[in-house]
């Protein structure tokens, strides 16, 4: 034959074995004949049964306190939705027997430092708004929907429904003649509309949707927005006039 062929049979055998392994041949000797070129058997058509999902217990819904005193203690206690949030809760203030209740969304930044709802520049404007209709903080009842300021400065959608439920229960316990809703979150919670659509109308509502006493609500701009948009003060003044109209009759 031609020139000598220098072949390392060990490397050649290892290469062949590696190729056979890559193509799926993993048995060199078997007692039964086997067609290595045949297609692999089809997988079984029956799917393995998966374990049934474990039943999840429904969350236990604890009824809200039925008296105002118990509710106010619960609202800033360890079972409130905001109890685990960073910051101290700010409770409602003023006179719960007043004919006007005022509801805001969340405490402002200054409020977290003072422990007083509507303080700082926002609070000074709020006090002037009350004075313009012959009122003061002592002659109204002021409450936040959210007792602790969220990190984002607004109520997150995932907790808004629960806070609306709590706020409506709060209003039902206080039973004022009128409620002033300052800001979009309170307006949506009671009228289903943002302030821009809800304002200008006196809305009679039942706070908890039952057969209880109707309460009239007025939606208006939050003082913090009025500081940013002074042109809206004229419309806010009309809302305040609507709020007090007929209360002294």
Which candidate, 104, 123, 89, places its Cα nearest to that of 186?
Answer: 104
Decide if 103 is inside a domain.
yes
In a domain, 224, yes or no: yes
Name the CA radius of gyration of the chain, rounded.
35
- Give the residue among 122, 80, 79, 112 at the shortest CA–CA distance from 227: 122
Q: Is residue 154 part of a domain?
A: yes
Residue 52 falls within a domain, yes or no? no
Euclidean distance between CA atoms 41 and 64, whole angstroms: 64
Give the Cα separation of 227 and 112 in Å (integer). 19
Q: Is residue 41 part of a domain?
A: no
pLDDT value of residue 1: 47
The pLDDT assigned to 25 comes to 58
Alpha helices in 175-232 (DSSP H): 184-191, 195-198, 223-228
Distance CA 226, CA 235 (A): 10
Average per-residue pLDDT for the chain: 85
Which of 247, 198, 204, 227 has the alpha carbon at shortest distance from 129? 227
Q: What is the number of structural domains in the chain?
A: 1
Is the pLDDT assigned to residue 85 strictly greater than 50?
A: yes
The stretch 58-82 carries a mean pLDDT of 87
The confidence score (pLDDT) of residue 38 equals 64
**Which residue, chain included where needed, has tokens 């509710």?**
71
Q: Quick check: helix, strand or coil at residue 108?
A: coil
Is 24 inside a domain boundary? Answer: no
Tell me which of 60-64, 116-120, 203-207, 243-247 is least confident. 60-64
Boundaries of domain holding 125: 68-244
Which residue in 87, 86, 92, 58 sits closest to 74, CA to CA?
Answer: 92
CATH of the domain at 143: 3.40.470.10
């Amino acid at each position: 034959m031609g020139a000598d062929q220098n072949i390392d049979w060990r490397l050649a055998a290892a290469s062949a074995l590696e190729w056979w392994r890559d193509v799926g041949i993993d048995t060199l000797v078997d007692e039964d004949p086997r067609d290595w070129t045949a297609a692999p058997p089809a997988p079984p058509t029956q799917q393995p049964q998966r374990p049934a999902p474990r039943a999840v217990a429904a969350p236990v819904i604890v009824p809200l306190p039925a008296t105002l005193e118990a509710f106010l203690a619960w609202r800033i206690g360890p079972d409130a939705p905001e109890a685990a949030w960073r910051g101290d809760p700010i409770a409602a203030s003023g006179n719960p027997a007043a004919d006007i209740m005022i509801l805001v969304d969340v405490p402002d930044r200054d409020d977290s430092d003072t422990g007083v709802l509507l303080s700082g520049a926002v609070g000074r404007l709020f006090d002037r708004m009350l004075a313009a209709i012959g009122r003061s903080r002592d002659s109204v009842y002021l409450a936040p929907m959210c007792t602790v300021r969220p990190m984002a400065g607004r109520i997150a959608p995932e907790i808004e429904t629960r806070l609306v439920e709590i706020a409506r229960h709060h209003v039902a316990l206080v039973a004022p003649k009128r409620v002033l809703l300052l800001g979009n979150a309170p307006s949506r919670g009671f009228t289903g509309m943002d302030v821009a659509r809800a304002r200008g109308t006196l809305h009679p509502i039942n706070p908890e949707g039952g057969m209880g006493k109707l309460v009239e609500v007025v939606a208006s701009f939050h003082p913090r927005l009025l500081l940013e948009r002074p042109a809206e003060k004229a419309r806010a003044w009309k809302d305040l006039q609507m709020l007090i109209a007929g209360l002294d009759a």
